[in-house]
Amino acid sequence: MADLIWSRRSADDLSAIYSHVSEESDRAASNLIDSITMATVRLSDFPLSGRVVPEFNRQDIREVIVGNYRVVYQLLGESVGIALVHHGARLLRRSDLRQA
């Protein structure tokens, strides 16, 4: 079982997503954050279950899709590092991963 490690960037992303969505509905924001975090739980047991991020084409950088969001993570030996949570409509750049 791999440890999940949320980067500061990914935690900040969740906070920003919650703030944005809660402007319309606190319940929707809570449900979305719950969905995102629950999608990452399986990565402890199945770290290869996400797809390889096409922009990077590296086996160690993967993602799971939750609604409109891409949860990008990196395989780090016995750990899974959640790098960022990125809206799918936005362009994902290599520099986004370096900032994680």
Quote the domain boundaries for residue 93: 3-98
CB burial of residue 77 (10 Å; 0-12, 13-18, 19+): exposed
Tokens of residue 15, six digits? 């906070």
Q: How confident is the model over 33-92, as pLDDT tens digits?
A: 999 999 999 999 999 999 999 999 999 999 999 999 999 999 999 999 999 999 999 989
Residues 6+ apart with CB under 8 A from 52: 58, 59, 61, 62
How would residue 99 be classed by pLDDT, with cut points 50, 70 and 90? low
Question: How many domains does the chain fold into?
Answer: 1
For residue 78, what is the domain's CATH number? 3.30.2310.20
